[in-house]
Each structure stands twice: as C-alpha cells, then as structure tokens.
Amino acid sequence: MNIPLNIDWQQILLHWMNLAILTGGLYFLLFKPVKQFMEKREAHYKDLDAQAAGKLEEAERVKAEYQARLAGAEEEIHQSRIKAQAAVQQSAEEQLAQAQAQAKQIIAHAQAEAEHSRERVMRESQKELRKLAAEAARKLAVQADPFSQFLDLAEGGRHEER
Amino acid sequence: MKQHKKGLALWLTAILLLLAGALLTGSPGRAEGVQEAMRDAVLHNVNQISLFGWKTVNPGMISAFTVTAVLLLAAACLRIFAIPRFQMVPGKLQLLLEETVGLFDRMARTNSPHRFGFLGAYIFSAGAYIFVGTLFELLGLQAVTTHGTPVTLPAPLSDVNAAIALGTLSYLVILSGGVTANGAKGVGKTLKEFSLPISMSFRLFGALLSGLLVTELVYYFVHLSFVLPVVVGVMFTMLHALIQTYVLTMLTALYYGEVSEPSHS
C-alpha cells in the first residue's frame, strides 16, 4: 500500500525507539537527580521551618509561663505590701500607745514632784514665818521706851502727811 | 579616532568585495529546482541517507538520532560534573536546570494533580526534544545523501514520521495514564479523543515544516540570503521552538490529567 506523505512505519518505530531512549536517559541522568535534590532541599527547609516553629512555640510557652509568674509576683508584692502596711500601722499604734503611757507617767511624776515641792515650800514658809514671828517678838521684847517710840512714830507720820 | 575610521572603512570594503565576489562568481548550477527542493522537504523521497548501510532513511531520522545523542551527552556531562556540586543556594547553571525541571514538573502537577510522576518525566524529555530539535536546524549540519550530494540536516520534527511518532507516543502516554488510573473507563475516556494523535502529529509537522520551507525558500535565492535569514532563520525558529514545546507538553499534560482523574461513581 502506498502511504501518502512518504509515511514509513519502520522509521516511525525507529523514532519511537529514539524517543524511548531519550526519555529514559533524560529521566535517569537529569530529571530524577535534579528533582531529588530539589526535594531534599525542600525537606531541609521544611525541617528548618518546623524547628523554627517548635522553637517559637517553646518561646511562646516560656513567655506565657513567665507572664503567669509575673502576674503571681505582682499579687505577691501586693499582699506583701498590705502585710507591711498592716505591720507598720500596728507598730505605729503600739508606739503611740507606749508614748501616751509614758506621757501619762511623766505627767503623774511631775504632778507628784510639784505637790512635793509645794509641800516643801509651805513647810519652809511656815518655818520662816515662825522664825520671823520669833524674831519680831524678840525685838519687841528688847526695845527702848515705848513712849518715845510712840513719839518717833507719831512724828514720822506727820512728816509723811506733809 | 582616525584609526577607528580606517578600520571601519577596511571592514566595509571587505564586505563589499566579498559580496561582489559572491555575486560575480556564480554557482555551478543547481541539481534541483525550487519546486523539487520544496517537494523533497515535505516528502523526503529523493534525498535520503543511509543508516549504517542497513536502510535508507529521511534526513530527519539522522537529525533525531543526533539530537538525542547531543541531549544525552549533555545530560551525562551535567550528571557527572554539575549535579554533584549542587548547593543549597543555587548558582546560575543550577538555577537553570532546576527551573527547567521544575517548569515541567509543575506543569504535570498542575494539570494532572492525581498522577504526575511519569508525566513530568515524559513532558520534560518531549519538551527538551522539541526545543533542541527545532533549534538544531540553525546549526546547518551537513550529511551526504545516497546520491552523494550534501544535504543540510533539518529539524527532526519537520519529518512527518518523527512528528507522527511524537504525536502517537504522546497519545499512548495519555492512554497509559487513563488505563493506570481508571482501567477500562480510562481507555474509553482516551479513545473519546480519537483525533488527538492526528492533531498532535500534524500540528507539530505543519509548524516545523512551514519553518523549514520558508528557510529553504529564502536560502534558495542568493539575493534573499542577506539579513533576512536573521529574522526568518533565527528569530522565527527560536520563537516556534518555544511555542511548539509549550503546546505539545501542555496538551499532553492537560489530556493526561483529564483521563487520569478518578471517576466519581
């Protein structure tokens, strides 16, 4: 049979064989190794990505943990502050009470001292008065003529009226 | 500056002298007319090459074997010298290789998400074959025909047999995907697209042949052989190398994905 366009089945089969050799050869020599390398690199970067994601997750977890701890510490600080304020308040009150007690004691002591001083002064005054009275009596007893004294006194009074 | 002008004048004179020489010398006469040359570019029934004395084949067959040899040699060199030195941060060559492999692998994954392992490898090699095979015609390698005349080796896929082989092989790959994923249902799904091997084959053949015919026509006439080949020979070839690579690999991946999709019962 005369096939148009000079189509030759034997040559078509030879071309098929040629293409089969080319496909196999290029697959084993180029396509497969290059693709394998690309897959290896992709796996490498995926692995790096996964590692980075893991580290990020770990960092997030640690951050959350520290934030929780920080929140706890703040609460602790708050409690400690309240406790310290209470202690300071109590101490101040104690000191105040102590100071008041001391003040009372000082006042009582001062009052007692004053009383004691007053009594002593009174005693000394009475003693002085008695002494003066005794002196006056003694002087009266040893004085000159009462009449001339009377006169002197009288003259002295006149002079004063003038 | 003066020396620069002198050099420029010398260069232009040399070009003009060579052009005049080429035009005045003339050619020893053509063995075939333009109709014959273009007819042979399509049918390959005149200029044939002996394959190791076993059989006469189209020049495209020799081109196909040469392209495969070049690709496998380059792949072997890359496997031995470049791939073991691959780094985590790629260099230029590594980036090029990874991008090329990644491009076809991604194309397979995107278009056929259920089954893409073999598909990626197939469209990678088919893409490399079409791209390098199309650019191969730019080299203008010569071979000797059975008549003892030299012939420039064309792009492998400008030979209808090569285009049919690649189109039908792609169809068989699609069929294999359907069978592996869905069994008899996959066969039915693939056979539904019965026009696919023909459309794939002749799309490749037509695209590559048109390039070949234009180049053949341009080089046939001496006065068209200046400047014009830069556009039609290099830029068009590069452009349709990219386009045909993309079209065939994309279609194969698309149909493969369609037939290998698990059927919802």
Structure confidence at residue B150 as a pLDDT band (50, 70, 90):
confident
Residue count of chain B? 265
pLDDT of residue A146: 67
**A14 contact B CB<8A:** yes
Domain membership of residue B112 (yes or no) is yes
pLDDT of residue B226: 74
pLDDT of residue A87: 95
pLDDT of residue A55: 96
Domain membership of residue B126 (yes or no) is yes
pLDDT of residue A1: 52
Domain membership of residue B169 (yes or no) is yes
- Residue-wise pLDDT for B165-210, tens only, equals 999 999 999 989 888 888 888 788 778 777 888 888 888 888 878 8
Residue B40 has pLDDT above 90, yes or no: no
CB count, 10 Å around CB of A72? 10
pLDDT of residue A121: 93
Long-range contact pairs involving B99-108 (C-beta distance under 8 Å, separation at least 24)? B100/B124, B100/B128, B101/A30, B101/A31, B101/A34, B101/A35, B101/A38, B102/A38, B104/A31, B104/B249, B105/A35, B107/B249, B107/B250, B107/B253, B108/B253, B108/B256
Domain membership of residue B110 (yes or no) is yes
- Residue-wise pLDDT for A124-137, tens only, equals 999 999 999 998 88
Domain membership of residue B15 (yes or no) is no
**A6 contact B CB<8A:** yes
Residues of B with CB under 8 A from a CB of A: 42-45, 55, 57-58, 61, 64-65, 68, 71-72, 75-76, 78-79, 83, 86, 88, 97-98, 101-102, 104-105, 120-122, 124-126, 128-129, 156, 159-162, 164-166, 168-169
Interface with chain A: mutation pick from B43, B125, B129, B202, highest number of A CBs within 10 Å: B125
Tokens 């020893």, residue located: B28
Q: Which helix (H) or strand (E) holds B142?
A: strand B142-144
Q: How far is B86 from chain A (nearest CA, A)?
A: 8
* Total domains present in chain B: 1
Average pLDDT in the B132-144 region? 89
Question: CA-to-CA distance for B167 and B154, rounded, in angstroms?
Answer: 19
**Separation of CA B94 from chain center:** 24
- Supply the ipTM of this predicted assembly: 0.83
The helix/strand/coil state of B144 is strand
pLDDT of residue B218: 76
pLDDT of residue B119: 93
CB count, 10 Å around CB of B250? 15
What residues make up the domain containing B194?
41-259
pLDDT of residue B18: 86
pLDDT of residue B202: 84
Report residues of chain A scoring pLDDT below 50.
162
- Residue-wise pLDDT for B205-262, tens only, equals 888 788 777 777 777 776 777 777 777 778 888 888 999 899 999 999 999 998 888 8
